[in-house]
Amino acid sequence: MTAKLIDGTAIAAQVRKETAEAVATLKKERGIVPGLATVLVGENPASKAYVSSKQRACEELGMTTIGQKLPTSATQEEVEGMVKSLNADPKIHGILVQLPLPKHLDEEKILGAVSLAKDVDGFHPLNIGRLSMKGREPMFVPCTPAGCIELLVRSGVEISGKEAVVLGRSNIVGLPVSMLLLHRNATITICHSRTADLPGVCRRADILIAAVGRAEMVKADWVKPGAAVIDVGINQVWVEHPADKEYTCAVTGETFVAHRRDQSEKGGRRKMGDYCTECDTAWLKGQEPPDSCAGCEPIALFRKYKLVGDVDFDDVSQVAGHLTPVPGGVGPMTIAMLMHNTYRGALHTFE
């Protein structure tokens, strides 16, 4: 490996420590405790996990937190009403509406309902608009893009005058990180699904930001030797297990691959279904057992997975100058920057 590892966990710990100290000073000198409200609509398991880690981080840094939950069926009025009541709550300095929202909701209107002074996610149209203009200052900058910049800056990577290529044009990462790089005087190319000769465009980059959600897409021959590569992707890929075999769900007829619980497996294990050894019958997770298995004691079936980024780490680490791992790169920075923004929200409100 030639690349220098950018340790997101260590840099995030540093940002969190700095924020915790600032929070303690704010509390001591002005009696203000920063407060974050999270709004979670629906049951998306990844969103639930992200929201819990954001709340846990608040507690660890001495901030207060309120977790509001609404069912998937919540109406536009209910979600906007909840945001408005949080806007009016003086103990709350930051509001985070976890995305994605269920399809029937108007995301733009909901994000626009968040008070500008409490928009710690930086997704309010006015904050995004200001971020996209020269000489304007958004009140808050979106957390993942801000985390990418912080990783580059704290690792000593020069941005000004460099060629930066951003893979992906999402509202959450691709577009805002491009604007942040532009403000720091990089020359930007934004790539997307219609970009011709993607590897060739990426090879021009001194700084490559990968945020497309395609497991290990970026290979060594896409990367200019010595480039700084920031991997924003979090993709789940299945890992083969010697006991994996194909089962057919007795309820839906679908087939699935799984193995019986392996006690030696740590982490990265997902329950796929159940299996009744007496009746030699399997069924998918979420299905009721077939009537023939009423009273039987099924065993659980699992499959192993791991998280990988959009960058093929082993391959790219042979050519890149700097590289973030997944996990342990951008992920921890998103939460650290959210904590920093919430602290700033508390500071603004009372200025």
Residues that bind ligand GUN (CB under 6 A): 96-99, 121, 143-144, 172, 334
Residue among 7, 118, 119, 121 flagged as catalytic: 121
**Sheet containing 228-231: which strands, arranged edge to edge?**
4-5, 322-323, 228-231, 207-210, 163-167, 187-191
CB of 97 or CB of 165, closer to ligand GUN: 97
Residue nearest to ligand GUN (CB): 99
Q: How far is the CB of 38 from ligand GUN (least distance, A)?
A: 8
Q: How far is the CB of 97 from ligand GUN (least distance, A)?
A: 6
Residue among 98, 206, 231, 312 flagged as catalytic: 98
Helix H segments across 98-187?
A: 107-113, 125-131, 143-154, 174-183
Annotation says 121 is catalytic:
yes
Structure tokens at 265: 């497996």
CB of 120 or CB of 284, closer to ligand GUN: 120
Residue among 54, 118, 162, 224 flagged as catalytic: 54
What is the separation, in whole angstroms, between the first and last Cα of the chain?
49
Annotation says 306 is catalytic:
no
Q: How far is the CB of 290 from ligand GUN (least distance, A)?
A: 38
* Helix (H) / strand (E) containing 7: none
Contacts of 158 (CB under 8 A, 6+ apart): none
CB of 98 or CB of 281, closer to ligand GUN: 98
* Residue from 164, 170, 135 nearest 149 by CA: 164
Annotation says 55 is catalytic:
no
Taking the C-alpha atoms of residue 12 and residue 335, their distance in angstroms, rounded to an integer, is: 8
Q: How far is the CB of 177 from ligand GUN (least distance, A)?
A: 12
CB of 124 or CB of 162, closer to ligand GUN: 124
Structure tokens at 201: 């465009």
Q: Where in the sequence numbering do the catalytic residues fall?
A: 54, 98, 121
